[in-house]
Amino acid sequence: MLRQLRSGMQALTAGLRAHCASASAAAATVGGSGLVRSQAYIGGRWVDASGSALFPVQDPASGRQLVEVADCGPREAKEAVRAADCSLPSWRAATSKERSNLLRKWYDLIIKNKDELARLITAENGKPLQEAFSEILYAASFVEWFSEEARRVYGDVVPASSPNRRILILKQPIGVVSIITPWNFPSAMLTRKAGAALAVGCTVVVKPAEDTPLSALALAELADQAGIPAGVFNVIPSSRSNTPAVGEVLCTDPLVAAISFTGSTATGKILLRHACDTVKKASMELGGLAPFIVFDSADLDLAVAGALASKFRNSGQTCVCANRFLVQEGIHDAFVEKMVKAMQRDLRVGSGFDDQTTQGPLINERAVQKVENQISDAVSRGACIVTGGKRHSFGATFFEPTLLSNVTTDMLCAQEETFGPLAPVLKFQTEEEAITIANAANVGLAGYFYSRDYAQIWRVAEQLEVGIVGVNEGLLSTPEAPFGGVKQSGLGREGSKYGVDEYLEIKYVCFGSL
Ligand code: NAD
């Protein structure tokens, strides 16, 4: 195993070095930091998968293998659940201050290691280093936030209707939680869930996305260093082929009380079906189809800046990315002209390790094909490519930032999540028409609109069928505010004072005969 680990480290270093000079500096730092882990973390120990099975983690920019990590299957999933269950009684019995202090130590270590953690994200996810760095601060902010929330999980004393009774309401940790995370925010999606669960006294088993397990394993190393007790936080990486069987254990094992998933709506439905037989509590952060509406009264420059930020962050691979630009006819041509100029001026495609880059690769070939397919469908139905439209010469997984005009609601790009750097623009006439188009979706995560008309702002904010609304603002995520969607975008909320509710049971205690 040691030999495999060493050769994995060498491959990771070599893979990173190939990017550019600054990448090799990054590789040296990451490789030497002790944060690159290739085994699973179960019950406080670093362990191999059975049969020493491994799977490759690839650099999405080149397709080259960075390192191989333990390929956990159902057996390891069961072991991890058992470990989490064994550590549950002592973790839930700890005082909230003790848990808070340990989370704070974990936060401090994440901040101390922020540069290395950011480089790991860029290596396995491809996003530009500056964005990766922001993700680490965002990820850490949830650990900090929930370290503070840990001490504010209050119950209630409720006036009773009979004089000889007293009513108490207790909030208690639900138990072992299975956490399944996506590749697009490999650190932040983990801490947003685990931070809340650990804060209230739950123990967790995390299955990271197969594309990006290194960030989760690095966070486990730091949790270990922080002194979070063995078995409280477990991480089991797993290949795409083992994932369904692992997911099934995590969602059906009777020792698991709740599941928390971020990913596609299709996968969320599979997991919900698994969870129903044992009636587990489920928290689901699923896909979106965010409308981005620009009304005639909008501040055009503000709208273009917000559109660029919302659409092209992480090369369009965020669940709250603007997916459909609805622009009112009076401002439409000016918006398209300014947006295209801004895209051509401000967006740079290239290696995530190059500090000029704003657009890294898409996560894999499948993701590129989805964007190509949406563009060819739209063009065949009458849309025009105003800028971009094809793969970028930098590499097979790189795509030109693209803007389509003349888009109509029957096109695929207006109906399904793109998850890539494609901005389709639809023209509308009235506010009512814009609301109808925006709400004609079976998902509703984020929605954005730009307007300087206050009455319109109230009307539209209230009518949009989404969980998160940006009014004259393109970047919304923050630990203080609840994150989550309506319709098939999910169940529950993460972050904010509401985030802990996903991991709590409410118990009513009646004191009688007083
Ligand atoms: P995905 O559903 O394919 O994968 C997400 C996770 O689920 C990964 O860990 C994957 O290994 C796992 N998975 C896949 N099939 C599984 C199965 N049968 N059993 C158990 N686990 C399984 O999604 P993705 O492509 O990784 O992520 C993109 C999607 O995630 C987009 O739709 C996006 O909108 C959504 N997303 C949502 C949020 C949010 O907060 N709402 C955040 C990020 C991403």
Q: What is the CATH code of the structural domain delimited by 21-286+492-506?
A: 3.40.605.10
| Active-site position among 72, 202, 319, 321 | 319
Tokens for 202, please give them.
Answer: 């739950």
Cβ of 286 closer than 6 Å to ligand 1, yes or no, is yes
Average pLDDT of the residues in 316-336: 98
* Nearest ligand 1 atom, CA 287: 34
Strands 166-173 and 504-511: antiparallel
So where are the chain's domains?
21-286+492-506, 291-478
Decide if 300 contacts 334 (C-beta within 8 A): yes
Cα-flanking dihedrals φ and ψ of residue 17, to 5°? -60, -30
Pocket probe mutation, ligand 1, options 57, 217, 264, max atoms within 8 Å of Cβ: 264
135 lines ligand 1 (CB under 6 A): no
**Is residue 34 very low, low, confident or very high in pLDDT (cuts 50, 70, 90)?**
confident
512, with CB counted inside 10 A (0-12, 13-18, 19+), is exposed
Q: How far apart are CA 180 and CA 11, in angstroms?
A: 27
Is the pLDDT confidence value at 5 over 90?
A: no
Q: Which residue, judged by its Cα, is nearest atom 40 of ligand 1? A: 285
Q: Is the CB of 287 inside a 6 Å radius of any atom of ligand 1?
A: yes
Phi and psi torsions of 491, nearest 5°:
-135, 130
- E-assigned strands of 19-71? 40-42, 45-47, 54-58, 65-70
**Dist CA 147 CA 102 (whole Å):** 8
Which pLDDT does position 7 carry in this prediction? Answer: 40
Residue 291 and residue 326: Cα distance in Å, rounded?
Answer: 7
pLDDT of residue 31: 52
How does pLDDT run across 366-381, given as a tens digit for each residue? 999 999 999 999 999 9
Q: How far is the CA of 40 from the centre of ligand 1 (A)?
A: 20
Does the annotation count 285 as an active-site position?
Answer: yes
Q: Is the CB of 210 under 6 A from ligand 1?
A: yes
**Does the CB atom of residue 244 touch ligand 1 within 6 A?**
yes
Active site residue 337: no
Q: Which of 22-26, 429-433, 483-487 has the lowest mean pLDDT?
A: 22-26
pLDDT at residue number 33? 59
CA 503 to ligand 1 centroid distance, Å: 20
Determine the 3-state secondary structure of 399 from DSSP. Answer: strand
Q: Determine which residue's CA is closest to atom 15 belonging to ligand 1.
A: 267
CB 85 within 8 Å of CB 255: yes
The domain 291-478 is placed in CATH, from the list 3.40.309.10, 3.90.550.10, 1.10.357.10, 3.40.50.11260, at: 3.40.309.10
Q: What is the pLDDT of residues 183-205, one digit of tens each?
A: 999 999 999 999 999 999 999 99
Outline where DSSP puts E strands in 330-444. Answer: 384-387, 402-405, 422-428, 443-444
User: Does ligand 1 have an atom closer than 6 angstroms to the CB of 180?
Assistant: yes
The answer to whether 214 touches 57, Cβ cutoff 8 Å, is yes
User: Is the pLDDT assigned to residue 422 strictly greater than 70?
Assistant: yes
CA 501 / ligand 1 centre spacing (Å):
22
pLDDT above 70 covers a percentage of the chain that reads 94
Phi, psi for 58 (deg, rounded to 5): -110, 150
Q: Which residue carries 């190509």 as its tokens? A: 372
Q: What is the pLDDT of residues 113-160, one digit of tens each?
A: 999 999 999 999 999 999 999 999 999 999 999 999 999 999 999 999
Q: Is the CB of 445 under 6 A from ligand 1?
A: yes
| Closest residue CA from atom 39 of ligand 1 | 285
Q: Is the pLDDT of residue 81 over 70?
A: yes
Cβ of 125 below 6 Å from ligand 1: no
Tell which residue, 489, 494, 444, has the closest CA to residue 188.
494
Query: Does an H or E element contain 310, and which?
Result: helix 300-312
Q: What share of the chain is helix, strand, coil (3-state, %, to 5)?
A: 45, 20, 35
Under a CB-based contact definition with an 8 Å cutoff, are residues 128 and 357 in contact?
A: yes
